[in-house]
Structure 1
Amino acid sequence: MRTSVMAAFLLGLFLFVSQPPSVPSRPTVNEAGASSKTVDYEQRRASSIQNQTQTAVHPNGTRQQLPQTIIIGVRKGGTRALIEMLSLHPGIAAAESEVHFFDWEDHFEKGLQWYASQMPFSYPHQITVEKTPAYFTSSKVPERIYKMNPATRLLLILRDPTERILSDYTQVFYNRLQKHKLYQPIETVLIKNGDINMDYKALNRSLYYIHMQNWLKYFPLSHIHVVDGNMLIKDPLPEMKRVEKFLNLSAEINASNFYFNKTKGFYCLRNHGRERCLHESKGRAHPQVASPILAKLYQFFHEPNRKFFQLIGRTFDWH
């Protein structure tokens, strides 16, 4: 009897030990390509970082916190107009100035606590937004933002690349003019030895597909909303409704928030009876460029634009 019991026990033990360990099933993958566990991890990580960097709570219940949304660019694409229009929404708390935290080493070395201290005071239900146009074209920024919070929502506003170059030149031209510095005619910076001047920094900023490839290494396209800068100028409301939807905001921005200023030639903002327009430096007339040079630019950007459209799955009405 005792022998048979012992034999049964040893047989059971053998079967238990020889049984391979159970393997958990793979996590369910959502349409964006990220697993539910990854999404949960991102949310917990973002919450943890916020808790570590939050400043003291103001008596009215507001506090400074890391931005959940960042306008990453592009320079002279309409970032100031975008953040001003976004500020019309009561669910948004926007930083007033460009922080340059992720692209300037002396700022980045100060850490996330310092970054949070540069943000506006906001209520718990509000989304904090920061904009620095130089982020888009800086190769080190995407990874740095991802490490801060992989769930960050990114807004990228772009214009026709040729128009963006002309606007870029115009800004530099007026800055040098105000400082009584010499400046180069636009033809000499655009063309070198009869061809497009590839050394011109403003031109490289307009090669959107190159910079977009770097962002897509870290963020899925579902986390990046591209705003049509040309349409934002012509008809801002439809573009802002798309931004509201992307950020999961309630529908608050409406037609009464915009009015066309015939003197300035673009839309200004109206909120609770107060009217304001963008700074006078916005909307300056571009320099006249000879038609053959413009044709060269349009032809040059045809292929880079096609690659960019392919990356984002959208097209824009550019030359």
Structure 2
Amino acid sequence: MEKTPSYFVTKETPQRISAMSRDTKLIVVVRDPVTRAISDYTQTLSKTPDLPSFQDLAFRNQSLGVVDVSWNAIRIGLYALHLENWLRYFPLAQIHFVSGERLISDPAGELARVQDFLGLKRIVTDKHFYFNRTKGFPCLKKPESSGSPRCLGKSKGRTHVQIDRDAVEQLRDFYRPYNVKFYEMVGHDFKWE
């Protein structure tokens, strides 16, 4: 098992993984691409305070609604395009998509689906989680062999930067056809609106 966030969006990765093992099962966590881009920007801003504004990076021309797809924070959310590349090397049946939103609202339910996809007995259940109010995320309860619970790192769970409502709506409009295509490809509506 390995986890690398950039695998899904790196063009050469599907071919390399397929060459290692065509039987690999893949799990991809996706979330609303607009929220994901804002989260990406918020995290980068925490490390680079002199970063240009979100709107300056997200748009080539905001008044015309021209989105800059060369900016990584925007490009990553074009899930349908990335999935097309993966489907050249792996059947859809070997790829499971986890809803990032439901991973927060119902972690045990999402992990039950992951366990089913992997053909594992359902061991992780509701009893393994508690909601951390400080983080705003569910965390794993303390295992008996450990002194502390497992929760997201310091860089996770921070409040997002406020983005102009018009910019958010423009991005929703931009992503809508990509989202619809993605829903059709995977047979699941993630309801990103």
Q: TM-score, normalised by structure 2?
A: 0.93
How far residue 143 of structure 1 moved from its aligned partner, in angstroms, is 0.8
Give the match's secondary structure for 1:286.
coil
User: Residue 174 of structure 1: which of 21, 25, 46 is its match?
Assistant: 46
RMSD value, Cα: 1.2
Letter matched to residue 190 of structure 2 = F
Match of 1:187 in 2: 55
Specify the code of the residue in structure 2 equivalent to 1:186.
F
Alignment of 1:49-88 (within 5 A): none
Name the count of aligned residue pairs: 187
Corresponding residue for residue 231 of structure 1: 102
Q: What amino acid maps onto 2:174 in structure 1? A: F
Matching residue of 1:122: none
Supply the distance in 1 between the matched residues of 2:16 and 2:69 (Cα, whole angstroms): 28
Tell me how far 1:264 sits from its aligned partner. Answer: 1.9
Gap regions ≥5 residues in structure 2: none
Contact 2:135 2:158 in 1 (8 A): no
Which consecutive segments of 4 or more residues in structure 1 shift more than 3 A? none
Could you tell me which residue of structure 1 aligns to residue 191 of structure 2?
Answer: 317
Matches within 5 A, 1:239-258: 239-258=110-129
Larger Rg computed on CA atoms: 1
Q: Aligned-pair distance for 1:271?
A: 4.5
What is the rounded CA distance, in whole Å, between the counterparts of 2:86 and 2:123 in structure 1?
Answer: 30
Q: Whole-Å Cα distance in 1 between the matches of residues 85 and 69 of structure 2?
A: 20
Q: Given that residues 26 and 94 in structure 2 are in contact (C-alpha distance below 8 angstroms), is that contact kept between their aligned partners in structure 1? A: yes
CA distance, structure 1, for counterparts of residue 90 and residue 115 of structure 2: 20
Alignment match, 2:154 = 280
Give, in whole Å, the separation in 2 of the partners of 1:199 and 1:172. 16
**What residue in structure 2 maps to residue 219 of structure 1?**
90
| Structure 2 SS opposite 1:295 | helix
Deviations for 1:138-179, whole angstroms, at most 9, x for unmatched residues? 1111011011000001000100010110111112111213xx
Q: Percent identity?
A: 40
CA offsets 1:226-260 (integer angstroms, 9 cap, x no match): 00111101110100000000111111111111001
Greater RCO (CA < 8 Å, at least 6 residues apart) = 2
- TM-score, with normalisation over the residues of structure 1? 0.57
